[in-house]
């Protein structure tokens, strides 16, 4: 009965993500359900509008309010034991609070990433949320080992999240390349223009590291105090993906 309640709550939670994603016509690969949560795998990470990703992210936690309504409705009758009502309320609250913890790939971690990427460059935001997640996992493990009562289930869950974030850190370069490739292909949302000033000895990756979501960049290359040249974002992306100028500096590309 406990397992059924947990999986039902997780299913309704993921159903919220799925329904909101289908409204925005996201490409959904799969949905995986675990005892402690689920994951909706999509092809839209990082290239959809921030407000869309935020709505899809919070759609899951909002389903728990719907579940609270179901619990209240059931508790009004006398056909369900009070112990079962308490169990449903307990697991619904536990799963909701767990998913709001700012650890990637939980909803709290995704929301933190979206919040950071609204103000700072994409790569910096992505790296920051993974580092925060790793530190949070390590802190929770230490607290459980030396402060709080030890439970095997929560210990294994945190180990799993630690493993997931370690894998995300190892694949951070490929995630960033996917972000750049979507921009090069014209699949990303643009809501404004932002200027970037870089030294002429900067590499293309140094320039790309300053790219913001939902911004098109005009890049100004500083050669000296009085000499400055400009290049558009698409030209830099073309030099990287099409011309494969990986080792040239931005100054050499402009002069070339």
Q: For this structure, is 14 an active site residue?
A: yes
Alpha helices in 24-81 (DSSP H): 50-76
d(CA 53, CA 188): 13
- Angle CA 209–250–225, to nearest 5: 100
Residue 31: beta bridge partners?
40
Widest pairwise Cα distance in the chain: 82
d(CA 112, CA 57): 11
Evaluate whether 32 touches 38 at the Cβ level (below 8 Å): yes
Three-state DSSP state, 39: strand
Residue of 2, 14, 53, 214 marked active site: 14
Q: Which two tokens stand for residue 144?
A: 């459980």
Other CB atoms closer than 10 Å to residue 140's CB: what's the count? 19
Q: How far is CA 37 from the centre of its chain?
A: 16
Q: Which one-letter DSSP state was computed for residue 45?
A: T
Catalytic residue numbers read 14
């Amino acid at each position: 009965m406990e397992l059924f309640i947990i999986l039902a709550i997780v299913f309704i939670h993921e159903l919220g993500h799925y329904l909101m994603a289908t409204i925005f016509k996201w490409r959904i690969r799969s949905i995986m359900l675990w005892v402690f949560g689920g994951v909706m795998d999509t092809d839209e990470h990082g290239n959809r509008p921030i407000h869309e990703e935020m709505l899809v992210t919070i759609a899951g936690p909002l389903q728990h309010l719907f579940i609270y309504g179901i619990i209240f409705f059931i508790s009004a009758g006398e056909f369900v034991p009070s112990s079962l009502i308490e169990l449903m309320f307990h697991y619904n609250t536990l799963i909701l609070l767990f998913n709001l913890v700012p650890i990637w790939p939980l909803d709290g971690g995704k929301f933190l990433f979206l919040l950071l990427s609204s103000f700072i460059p994409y790569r910096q935001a992505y790296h920051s949320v993974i580092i925060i997640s790793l530190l949070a996992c390590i802190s929770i493990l230490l607290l459980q080992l030396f402060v709080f009562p030890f439970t095997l289930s929560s210990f294994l869950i945190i180990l799993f999240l630690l493993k997931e974030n370690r894998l995300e850190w190892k694949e951070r370069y490929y995630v960033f390349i996917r972000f750049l490739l979507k921009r090069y292909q014209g699949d990303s949302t643009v809501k404004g223009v932002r200027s970037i000033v870089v030294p002429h000895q900067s590499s293309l990756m140094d320039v790309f590291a300053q790219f913001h979501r939902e911004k098109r960049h005009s890049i100004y290359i500083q050669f000296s105090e009085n000499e400055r040249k400009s290049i558009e974002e698409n030209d830099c992306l073309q030099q990287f993906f099409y011309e494969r100028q990986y080792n040239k500096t931005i100054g050499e590309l402009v002069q070339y």
